[in-house]
Amino acid sequence: MNTRTHSRTLSLALLSLLQFLIAIDVTVVNVALPAIGDRFDAGPATLSWVVTGYTLVGGGLLLLGGRLTDLLGRRRMFLLGAALFALASLAAGLAPNLETLVAARFAQGAGEALASPAAMSLIALLYPGPEERAKALGIWGAISASGLVVGVLLSGATVQLLDWRWIFGINVPVVAVVLLATPALVRPDEPRRGPRRLDLPGAALLTAGPLLLVFGVLRHSAPAVAAGCVVLGAFVLVERRTKSPLVPLSFFTHRTRAVANAATVPLSAGLSTTFFLATLYLQDVLELTPVQAGLAYLPFCAALLLAVSAVGRVIQALGTAYASVAGLLLTAAGLGWLARLPDRGSLWVDVLPGMTAVAAGMGIGLIALQNAALSDVTEADAGTASGVQRSVDQLGGSLGLAVLVGGTFGATSQVAEFRAAFAWAALAVLVAAVAVALAGRRT
């Protein structure tokens, strides 16, 4: 291994480490939700803010994070985002009430919004070729998927043996390692020339709009939903008129990028729905302990890791578009299986087959779509492209979860609500698969 390859490998490992922590925070929170609900006397709709608050703020600010990455430097933004993520994790672990916990999750999302597009754009520039980039993103995804494994196991054991507050504390020492190692492994940012205007109104609108939509859906408030739509419409107008938009609307004239980002929305919504509702089903319906619920996710995580390890070969064999379709169809099949959950089901027959199919579909589909979303990026727009992709991933997951939970809860029984949410999620992912297939035939 030559010096350049060794340096790139170490840089990739370091950049993946923070994503590992972000993945931990996704699953560690989901498995701990029943315990957090008991501590703060909160139901499913209210508890969903612990998940969606993080992803909504992160998703809303990711475009700003991507823009800041291009303007102010990738290493600088990666370090700043990592530090904010660590401080917010500490605040979440010490939260005295649900409101403080949700606020800390908002801050965690802001930290990710700075660090994640910086890391992703650094990877895109370190590995400019499509095949080597797919391999690098596969490694990045594999390390992230490992975080899902650690998250579910850590959460179950921590909640049952210690306290749910400890699930956030693990972030602090690991981020400290990232902060110390980054200056040695990631090259300094090059001087930036030209104007450094920021579209702060656009960032505020893109964050406020989804928050209003989720609030309106979960509270069944038509005025809040309408306000959210108006705010998002205002965001489009601002982006059209400002001299320095978060993302130029012409960015979406690139067909491959546009279709990939659009298809990411239902795919991410399907994953969020699976984690949230499957956790409640395992503990509330099947009456598993937190440790047992964590262990029940191991087949899911194993399938995800296997899919991620194979995604480079799948893309090479099928091409990016049809690899994306394969992942979407697998995910839709898994969601469809979960849409038939019985009132008193079996873990091995009724839950795990659907969960593992979703995992395999996500491992292939999401990375293939990420690769497509970074098509033809340059030094000038790598951060923006990464920010867009991460933003639609985050917002798709949080908005999808809010719509599916808020729109279906109120059925005749809790399990009937689960079935309805999974069925709608399966349909949305299936539609996305058809759209990607049609777009692939035209290119």
Neighbours of 413 (CB within 10 A): 9
Q: How far is residue 191's CA from residue 212's CA, in Å, rounded to a whole number?
A: 39
Distance in Å from the first CA to the final CA of the chain: 37
Q: Which helix (H) or strand (E) holds 149?
A: helix 130-161
What pLDDT, on a 0 to 100 scale, did the predictor assign at position 47? 78
State which amino acid sits at residue 276. F
Asked if residue 131 lies in contact with residue 312, where contact means CB atoms within 8 angstroms, the answer is yes
Q: How far is residue 31's CA from residue 16's CA, in Å, rounded to a whole number?
A: 23
Q: Which two tokens stand for residue 146?
A: 């490992």
What pLDDT, on a 0 to 100 scale, did the predictor assign at position 393? 80
Q: How far is residue 374's CA from residue 388's CA, in Å, rounded to a whole number?
A: 10
Q: How far is residue 69's CA from residue 192's CA, in Å, rounded to a whole number?
A: 11
What pLDDT, on a 0 to 100 scale, did the predictor assign at position 379? 63
Q: Which of 232, 119, 266 is nearest to 182 (CA)?
A: 119
Q: Tell me 282's DSSP state.
A: I
Domains of the chain, by residue range, sit at: 3-188+246-442
- Which of left, alpha, beta for 287 (phi over 0: left; psi -120 to 50: alpha)? left
Q: How far is residue 73's CA from residue 79's CA, in Å, rounded to a whole number?
A: 10
Q: Which two tokens stand for residue 49?
A: 């803010």
What pLDDT, on a 0 to 100 scale, did the predictor assign at position 325? 94
Q: Go through 329-338 and write b for each residue having 16 or more CB atoms within 10 A of its CB, e for each that does not.
A: bbbbbbbbbb
Reading the chain (443 residues) residue by residue, the pLDDT tens digits are: 555 666 777 778 778 887 788 777 766 787 788 888 888 887 766 777 887 778 778 777 777 787 788 778 888 898 999 999 999 999 998 999 988 999 999 899 889 888 888 887 788 777 777 667 777 777 776 677 667 667 777 777 777 777 888 888 878 888 888 888 888 877 777 766 545 667 778 878 887 888 788 778 777 788 888 998 899 889 888 888 887 787 777 777 778 888 888 899 999 888 888 878 888 888 888 988 877 887 888 888 788 878 888 888 898 888 888 999 999 999 999 999 999 999 888 899 999 999 999 999 988 998 899 888 877 766 666 667 777 787 788 778 777 877 777 665 555 567 888 888 899 999 999 999 999 998 877 65
Q: Which of 86, 85, 29, 77 is nearest to 57 (CA)?
A: 85
Using CB atoms within 10 A of its CB, is residue 40 exposed (0-12), middle (13-18) or buried (19+)?
Answer: middle
What pLDDT, on a 0 to 100 scale, did the predictor assign at position 178? 87
Cα–Cα–Cα angle for 309, 123, 256, nearest 5°?
80
Asked if residue 363 lies in contact with residue 138, where contact means CB atoms within 8 angstroms, the answer is no
Q: How far is residue 140's CA from residue 305's CA, in Å, rounded to a whole number?
A: 11
What pLDDT, on a 0 to 100 scale, did the predictor assign at position 406? 65
Region 3-188+246-442: CATH code? 1.20.1250.20
Q: Which of 162, 159, 232, 244 is nearest to 200 (CA)?
A: 244
Using CB atoms within 10 A of its CB, is residue 179 exposed (0-12), middle (13-18) or buried (19+)?
Answer: middle
Asked if residue 153 lies in contact with residue 295, where contact means CB atoms within 8 angstroms, the answer is yes
What pLDDT, on a 0 to 100 scale, did the predictor assign at position 2? 55
